[in-house]
Structure 1
Amino acid sequence: MLYHFSEDPGITRFEPRVLYNQHDEPAKVWAIDAHHAPHYYVPRECPRVCLEAGEDTTEADVEKFFGLSEARRMMVIESGWYERVRTACIYRYSFEPDDFEEFDRNAGYYVAMQTVVPVQVERINDLVGAILQAGIELRFTPSLLPLKEQVLASTVHFSMIRMRNATL
């Protein structure tokens, strides 16, 4: 299955749209694979950095980012978003993958160029619990920007989402 996450519980059809920063690209419906889906267990506009130790991640980077933790996946969110993440609920829309094509394997993104209809909608009430149940260590920090620079210079696999909303 592929997924799309929203704070809107009533979407019956997903129409292709152009992203804010991709005006010269064709309109698309975006979906995410199951492995990367927990990166979206937060309110849509919440900035976050998601890290994973991959086979090609150096031992030094594993130690630097994961330290004494046994976790090999982590999500870092700004402290100012804590209350919204703690109290929000989101909706997971499920899609059959047949209408989608892989867009970015590393990030788990898939796209459809035509309207798609979800096969199921599930409400997720406890976002923090859902992240933790996925085996992802959850951390909060005052600002993501120092972490961003360290991650970009590392060998960890990462996804940086809604960074335009990060605290300076």
Structure 2
Amino acid sequence: MTNYFHYSEDATIKRFEPRLSPSFPDEPPMVWAIDETHRPLYYFPRQCPRIAYWKGGGTTEQDVEAFQLNTRMVIVIEADWFYRLEDVALYQYTFSAQSFSCFDENAGYYTSRSIVEPRRVDRLNSLTKMLLNEGVELRLVPTLHKVKEEVLGSTLNFSMIRLRNARN
């Protein structure tokens, strides 16, 4: 059975109602979820800016070498966020795939225009350990701006989340 996930620092959500997304202002209200492959993108405090990249079908070997991509995925965060990552507890909400459809296959986003109730909720601790167990390399940098430009100029598949919270 296929499941999709939502991550929150709030353990009390009983139902998810469709809402507008600031990242996709032209889209109708939706409930957002992530697939299993991409769920490590959300093993972070909600407001933590991050850039993830991984090898895709069009990724060149030159970019694999240049970005030292030796694991299935690299996620880069600003160093200031590391201790918050270590201290936060997240809650993984698991949804049945029934009402969801693919919004963005590269990022693993799935959406529903219906109210969704989670099938289960699990508390997650030790997020850095979870990242390692998922084959993710975590990298720390002072600011994400240089990484953003480098990744945008590459052939890598990527996801950039909450960059509006990145340091200037």
**What's the TM-score, normalizing by structure 1?**
0.95
**Structure 2 counterpart of 1:42:** 44
1:138 equivalenced with 2:138 (yes/no): yes
**Structure 2 counterpart of 1:110:** 110
1:148 positional shift: 0.3
Uncovered stretches (5+) of structure 2, i.e. residues with no partner? none
1:50 positional shift: 0.5
1:75 positional shift: 0.5
Q: What is the CA–CA distance in structure 2 between the aligned matches of 1:160 and 1:10, rounded to whole Å?
A: 27
Q: Secondary structure of the residue that 2:48 maps to in structure 1?
A: coil
**Structure 2 counterpart of 1:128:** 128
**Structure 2 counterpart of 1:73:** 73
Aligned residue type for 2:150: Q
Q: Secondary structure of the residue that 2:131 maps to in structure 1?
A: helix
Percent identical among aligned pairs is 48
Q: What is the CA–CA distance in structure 2 between the aligned matches of 1:21 and 1:74, rounded to whole Å?
A: 22
Q: Secondary structure of the residue that 2:52 maps to in structure 1?
A: strand
Aligned residue type for 2:5: Y
Q: What is the CA–CA distance in structure 1 between the aligned matches of 2:124 and 2:109, rounded to whole Å?
A: 21
Deviations 1:14-38 (A, max 9, x none): 0000112444431100000000001
**Does the 8 Å CA contact 1:66/1:72 hold for their aligned counterparts?**
no
1:66 positional shift: 1.4
1:74-113 matches, cutoff 5 A: 74-113=74-113
**What's the TM-score, normalizing by structure 2?**
0.95
* Corresponding residue pairs, total: 166
Aligned residue type for 1:55: G
